[in-house]
Structure 1
Amino acid sequence: MSTQQRRPIEQYFPTEPWLEQYRAAIDENDAYADHSAGWGVDFDGSFVFQIEAVPLDSTTVADLPSELVESVEDDLSALSDDRLEAVLEQAPAGARERIESRNGSLEERVTAEVRGTTMAALPDRTWPALRTELPANLDELIPQLEENVADDGTIYAYLELYDGECESVDTMLDLDDREHGFRLIGDYDTWTDLVRGEGDVINMLMSGEFEIDGDMQKILQYSDAAVDLAEIAADVDTRFIF
């Protein structure tokens, strides 16, 4: 049995609950409030953080953070064969065939099926009866993938930044869903470097690791606030899904 602590969904980047936790941290930061005073006044200061190349197709459940993987194994191992049979009876035909073709006990076969499923396929390969038996943090993660990741593997995180505050956050499936004044664009690995505190956002912009769509002069004018936003993200209690 796992001894690792199960973590709430808001600790996992990049999810909408993590984004909400980030919003709260921004609004509690006095340095950001001071450095960003006037931001968005008389211009659209809202931002989209465009996170590209999220590795859904190359990441399986077995590749997730260890506490998630172990919670899956623990919860499935706790089920009786009768309960597993009942879950399997409600599975789509393709899932039943894959599980029945595997070697081992029923528990081992079901666990192997879940562990080997990619994050891209997870919403379609987990059926309601199975989801009820998965750990809550993984069950909460599945709709995050369904609702917040565009078909091309991009996450659009919207932040309504105005005069020292982050008034709201949201995720979008299309850039046209919300009007915005600025867009910070980078691949998933670049974003994780930033959120880990391993890069300076201004230097990353200048080096081309990030691209900016918007008035770069405004960004430079408020460069201290931009640095604050990156440092606040690095201070959020974060686990990385991928």
Structure 2
Amino acid sequence: MTLYPTEQWLDEYGRLLDESDTLDDLAGGWGRGFNGDILLVISELPLEETTLAELPEPALAGIPEDVREGIGDVTLADAPETFGEALRPSLPAQVRELLYQLEENVDDGTLYAYIGLEGGDCTGVEVVGGPEERDVGFEVSASYSTWRQIVDGRPVASALLTGDLDVTGNHVRQVRYSAMFQLLGQIAADVETTHLFEGSRSSPATALVDEAVRQPAFIQRTAERQVSRTLNLL
């Protein structure tokens, strides 16, 4: 399993996007004549509220118990400074890599991930330093808590309806390819994931919306795929 949100998780997500036959069907015209690249904005990462002791076991593998006890109260916001260049070589490789990514990739509690999409192909994935680094046609923004729910299977359509997820870009294309955006969330849920941070449970009202949109989203995706295949045969 890969830790979310890390560069390794994003690489696996990009691989699944590129291998998806369903994405090929739904997004055959995506990015043809317009910029179809997407920036994922993951905000409110709980670095100041999360201590090293609260990280999942895969993130701490290799750290002796006595060392864990001594560093358990260090928050992730303070960890890069606490474990400076002199101390980091003594840490397991995966812990050093995690600290490096937190230090380099997270800006004021926000992480930005670039997804290159053209047709049904993923042309590249990359964690970037900010929204100005890559020219994209669409931004998809939400808090870490919402993204975690989507990675765990929450429908994108539900998050949009409740205002937890925001998509900026050409509105007409958003509507035309709404099933594709839903699929992007479903493929994220296919990544074998271990979350770095604790998540919050959906409210009863949100859970009702989730269930209400699941079946219609499936029907819409199936219909759009069939239309796309029919057009390709003409």
The bucket for the TM-score relative to the shorter chain is 0.7 to 0.9
Match 1:229 to one of 155, 176, 184 = 184
Partner of 1:195: 151
Which amino acid in 1 is paired with 2:145? D
Partner of 1:112: 69
- For structure 2, list consecutive stretches of 5 or more residues without a partner in the other structure: 198-234
Give the distance between the partners of 2:96 and 2:83, measured in 1 at CA. Answer: 10
Match 1:183 to one of 139, 159, 170 = 139
1:158 correspondence with 2:114:
yes
TM-score, length basis structure 1: 0.77
Which amino acid in 2 is paired with 1:35? L
C-alpha distance 111-129 of structure 1, shift in aligned 2 (>3 A):
farther
Moved over 4 A (4+): none
1:214 correspondence with 2:194:
no
Determine helix, strand or coil for the equivalent of 2:10: helix
Give the distance between the partners of 1:209 and 1:216, measured in 2 at CA. Answer: 18
Give the distance between the partners of 1:60 and 1:216, measured in 2 at CA. Answer: 40
- CA apart distance, 1:70: 5.4
Worse-matched range after superposition: 130-139 or 162-171: 130-139
Which amino acid in 2 is paired with 1:126? F
Which protein, 1 or 2, shows the higher relative CO under an 8 Å CA cutoff with sep ≥ 6?
1
Higher Rg of the two aligned structures: 1
Match 1:55 to one of 46, 57, 61 = 46
Give the distance between the partners of 1:209 and 1:55, measured in 2 at CA. Answer: 17
Match 2:26 to one of 35, 41, 58 = 35
Contact 2:42 2:141 in 1 (8 A): yes
Same amino acid, percent of matched pairs: 37
Determine helix, strand or coil for the equivalent of 1:24: helix
Contact 2:60 2:95 in 1 (8 A): no
Could you list the per-position Cα deviations for residues 14-72 of structure 1 after superposition, in whole angstroms to 9, with x for gaps in the alignment?
A: 01121111000101110011101110111111111110100011111001003434532
Could you list the per-position Cα deviations for residues 199-238 of structure 1 after superposition, in whole angstroms to 9, with x for gaps in the alignment?
A: 1102211221111111232122112221221111101111
1:125 correspondence with 2:82:
yes
- For structure 1, list consecutive stretches of 5 or more residues without a partner in the other structure: 1-6, 75-107
Give the distance between the partners of 1:217 and 1:231, measured in 2 at CA. Answer: 22
Give the distance between the partners of 2:84 and 2:70, measured in 1 at CA. Answer: 13
Between the two proteins, the alignment pairs up a number of residues equal to: 197
TM-score, length basis structure 2: 0.79
